[in-house]
Amino acid sequence: MTEMNAQQNAEVMYKSNPNRGGKPFVDGAFLKILAIVTMLIDHITAVYGSTSMVPLGTGYQVGRGIGRIAFPIFCFLLAEGFYYTKSRWKYLGRLLIFAAVSEIPFDMAFSGTFVDPTYQNVFFTLFFGGLAITLMELVEGDRGRGHERTAPVVHNPVLRALLYIAIIFGCAIGAELLYTDYGAGGVCTIIVMYVLAERKKPEGDLFRTRVANTLGFALGVLILGLTCGTIEFLAAVDIVFIWFYGGKRGWQLKYFFYAFYPVHLFIIALIFYGTGVFNVDYLTLLR
């Protein structure tokens, strides 16, 4: 009897411990830096691969594989940001502005021209994912942290579900029509990570939050692997970092990524052009 009570008490203590599964040590800043570094490796490798006159070897494959780590993390952070932001519309505006700012450097690096209508940068994908989240929340009536829950726009659950489907399909098709990086798969990944995630409240269960976040992230990686190529499954290594993510922002790097994205693409394009590896004369494009 005493052993049974001891076992029951141990189970209660385990379930009541919000840090079970290990104390969180990963914050938003760590995830951003990890995504930025791996994205940089991927972009350097990709541009070299598209311009190199020599056969591509194992180093190229490794570089592209490392780069698969980046995008799902950006999707996860976008989902987090759209929950905690005070204004989703302002957030969307920033994404759209930097999508426009980044397009010329993006095309310079990956297409060798100033304008390529057949391939748009990842900020457009993030924008469509954020737009879907915003519209779905308007239908639901839940405006996120800092906003009181409002009444649903549509009370009929069937009509509400149809609206959700229309929003998801509309934003996914928009990404495909615009030929954005990762396309519809990227948009659906953002939506899944947002919908399945559970944000920890002060009195909440961190373990349950970890399970929800990790499940949403894993399903997002699955979507990317099925829609964008099996190489995207390599992003599954991110699950370790998502499990130990504690929900804190860490260093304030709010605008660092926004600026880093177009700047690093511009520099990569100029370096490859300046060293003769990038076989494009941008000066002729201005004539």
DSSP 102-131: HHHHHHHHHHSSS--TT-B-HHHHHHHHHH
The dihedral of CA 95, 125, 72, 211: what is its sign? positive
Q: What is the rounded distance in angstroms from the CA atom of residue 265 to the CA atom of residue 103?
A: 10
Vertex 42: Cα angle to 121 and 112 (nearest 5): 50
* Both structure tokens of 217: 């992230």
pLDDT of 156: 82
* 82: region left, alpha or beta (phi > 0 left; psi from -120 to 50 alpha): alpha
Q: What is the rounded distance in angstroms from the CA atom of residue 101 to the CA atom of residue 284?
A: 22
The segments of the chain whose pLDDT lies below 50 read 1-21, 202-203, 278-279, 281-287
Domain ranges for the chain, please list them: 25-285
Q: What is the rounded distance in angstroms from the CA atom of residue 209 to the CA atom of residue 201?
A: 9
pLDDT of 238: 96
* Both structure tokens of 188: 């659906």
pLDDT of 206: 78
Contact at 8 Å (CB) between 232 and 225? yes
Read off the pLDDT of residues 143-160 as tens digits, 9 standing for 90 and up. Answer: 555 555 566 777 788 898
